[in-house]
Structure 1
Amino acid sequence: MSTASIAQPTFVPAALDLGDLVLRPWEPGLEVRGGAVANLTAAAADPEIALWNPLRAADPGQAEACIDRWAGGWQNGTLAYFAILDSTTAELLGTIALRWTDRADGLAMVGYWLLPAARGRGIATRATRAITRWGFTTAGARRIELAHAVDNPASCRVAERCDFPLEGTLRASFRFGDGLHHDEHLHARLATDPHPAEPAR
């Protein structure tokens, strides 16, 4: 059988209901309290996001183009960008995404950022657990990686709480928002790993 005849894994838009939180695909028209574009421009200006997860959303035009790119990723099944929302108020809390790094081999990577008011509340952990389960069970991922700067210990704690074992350190592997190449920790989970128990809330 030729590789061309083998169906590649794909991301199909879906909402992930976590009770008080909901993960919704980013798309034009997404209902967000205060407006999606205004929220993204505010996120782009946050120092922590600007350092570890730089957004090309410094003005409304860039923010709209950003949403269009994310929506395009959903349309072709290559990129799954979710807005993390308060399920009651539609307040934007952050964003979490899966992207294929080797689609044919089922290899994906997870990334996320949170707005300041959402930090320290376990939201990144819950969202990472949810998108990981979704990536394995419905998107056909075989392995999901999580990489973060060594100087970003908060993301290391998220990886540990989500049972992403540390596999090693990637030296000077990625240029972050400060313009410097930082060492990164590489964590990963396999579809065959036992799913972690949900933490007490």
Structure 2
Amino acid sequence: MSTIETAADQRSFIPVTLDLGDVVLCPWGRKTDVRDGAVPALIAAAADPAIALWNPLRTTDEASAGAYLDRCDAGWESGNSAAFAILDGADRTLLGNTALRWVNREDGLAMIGYWLAPAARGRGAATRAVRAVTSWGIATAETRRIEIAHAAGNDASCRVAERCGFPYEGTLRASYLFGDGKYHDEHLHARLAGDPEPA
């Protein structure tokens, strides 16, 4: 077995629940313990204007929401991606999502994204979730570098990146087709495995 194959085998995302107290990060998918409310919650999230613009889910009905959960299961099974439902620690209602996926598994390069339901915004849930999943990915799957790319106009996402220790590195021009059908510039942030934990 080559050195590259060995590294890729070690760099697998293994399902785990991360309990942060008032917030719990639970693996998404039909095969996990996210309750039956996952499908209607995904449909409701897709209808939110901010999510529809910056994180279009395309989970507008039961079939597409189910397909989303199936893709999450497949990502976990392959070790290529780790999608977590951000749940309220008390009643397990859905607050949002954060997902870590390999861009180049052999090289240890990954990307993380996130969204929050409207009622969950302003309480630090995205920041806590992204910090936890970033630390988990570095510690358990040998991620060397994790990137965040968000639309230049998405100020809330920029603040999460900065609070999580992902410094701004530059602007990617017209790099991604967003929910409005237009290509937007994106800000690129990144964190290296050796960077200090944010204060």
Could you say which TM-score interval applies, normalised by the shorter chain? Answer: over 0.9
Aligned residues: 197
* Alignment equivalent of 2:40, drawn from 38, 61, 67: 38
Distance in structure 1 (CA, Å) of the matches to 2:34 and 2:143: 29
Describe the superposition over 1:5-45 as per-residue Cα deviations: whole angstroms up to 9, x where unpaired. 42311100001111111100012154556711110111111
Secondary structure in 2 matching 1:57: coil
1:120: how far off?
A: 1.0
Distance in structure 2 (CA, Å) of the matches to 1:135 and 1:30: 19
Identity score, percent: 65
Describe the superposition over 1:79-124 as per-residue Cα deviations: whole angstroms up to 9, x where unpaired. 1000000111011000000010011100000000100000111111
Runs of at least 5 residues in structure 2 that lack an aligned partner in the other structure? none
* Alignment equivalent of 1:141, drawn from 140, 143, 146: 143
* Alignment equivalent of 1:180, drawn from 169, 179, 182: 182
Give the structure-1-normalised TM-score. 0.94
Runs of at least 5 residues in structure 1 that lack an aligned partner in the other structure? none
Give the structure-2-normalised TM-score. 0.95
Whether the aligned pair in 1 keeps the contact of 2:31 and 2:73 (CA below 8 Å) is no
Secondary structure in 2 matching 1:7: helix
Distance 1:119 1:5, change over 3 A: closer
1:139: how far off?
A: 1.6
* Alignment equivalent of 1:194, drawn from 193, 196, 199: 196
Distance in structure 2 (CA, Å) of the matches to 1:146 and 1:116: 21
Distance 1:4 1:150, change over 3 A: closer
Secondary structure in 2 matching 1:167: strand
The code of the aligned residue for 1:37 comes to V
The code of the aligned residue for 1:119 comes to R
Distance in structure 1 (CA, Å) of the matches to 2:114 and 2:29: 17
Distance 1:11 1:29, change over 3 A: closer
Aligned residue number for residue 97 of structure 2: 95
Secondary structure in 2 matching 1:156: helix
Aligned residue number for residue 59 of structure 1: 61
Indicate yes or no: 2:24 matched with 1:22.
yes
